[in-house]
Amino acid sequence: MPLNIPLRPNSSSITVMEDVGFYKQKSANQAGREKLLKHVPLEKLMDLKVDYAFKQLFGSEKNKDITVVFLNAILKKTGRKVIKEIAFTNTESGGEYVDDKQSRLDFLAITDDNERINVEIQFTNKYDLVKRSVYYWAGVYRSPLQKRMSYKELQPVIAINIMYFNLFQQTDRFHTMYHLYEDEEKFKLTDVMGFHFIEMPKLIRDWKNGNLDPWNDVLVRWLLMLGMVDYRNKKVYDDIYQELEAIAMKDKSVRAAFQNWEQLSMTQEEYFAYESRLKQINDEEAAQREAELRLQEAKEKAIREGRKEGLAKGIAEGKAEGIAEGKKEGEKSTQEKIARRLLMNDMDSETVAETTGLSIERVIQLQREI
pLDDT band at 329 (very low <50, low <70, confident <90, very high): low
- The pTM of the full predicted model, rounded to 2 decimals, is 0.69
pLDDT at 268 over 50: yes
Measured in degrees and rounded to the nearest 5, phi and psi for residue 188 equal: -75, 135
Confidence at residue 173, expressed as pLDDT on a 0 to 100 scale: 97
Confidence at residue 152, expressed as pLDDT on a 0 to 100 scale: 87
Confidence at residue 360, expressed as pLDDT on a 0 to 100 scale: 84
- Mean pLDDT across the stretch 31-43? 78
- How many CB atoms within 10 Å of residue 281? 19
Confidence at residue 111, expressed as pLDDT on a 0 to 100 scale: 92
Q: Which of 106, 102, 110 is nearest to 129 (CA)?
A: 106
pLDDT at 99 over 90: no
Q: Minimum mean pLDDT among 92-106, 121-135, 312-326, 340-354: which range?
A: 92-106
pLDDT at 92 over 90: no
- Considering only residues 91 and 333, tell me which one the structure prediction assigns the higher pLDDT: 333
pLDDT at 220 over 70: yes
CB burial of 297-306 (b: ≥16 within 10 Å; e: otherwise) equals eeeeeeeeee
Q: What are 175-186's pLDDT values in tens digits?
A: 999 999 999 999
Residue 70, beta-bridge partner list: none
- Mean pLDDT across the stretch 54-65? 92
Highest mean pLDDT among 36-45, 255-264, 280-289: 255-264
- Residue 48 to residue 208: CA distance in whole angstroms: 20
**What is the average pLDDT value for the chain, to the nearest integer?**
82
- Considering only residues 44 and 302, tell me which one the structure prediction assigns the higher pLDDT: 44
Confidence at residue 187, expressed as pLDDT on a 0 to 100 scale: 95
Q: Which of 21, 82, 90 is nearest to 60 (CA)?
A: 90
Confidence at residue 123, expressed as pLDDT on a 0 to 100 scale: 86
Confidence at residue 219, expressed as pLDDT on a 0 to 100 scale: 97
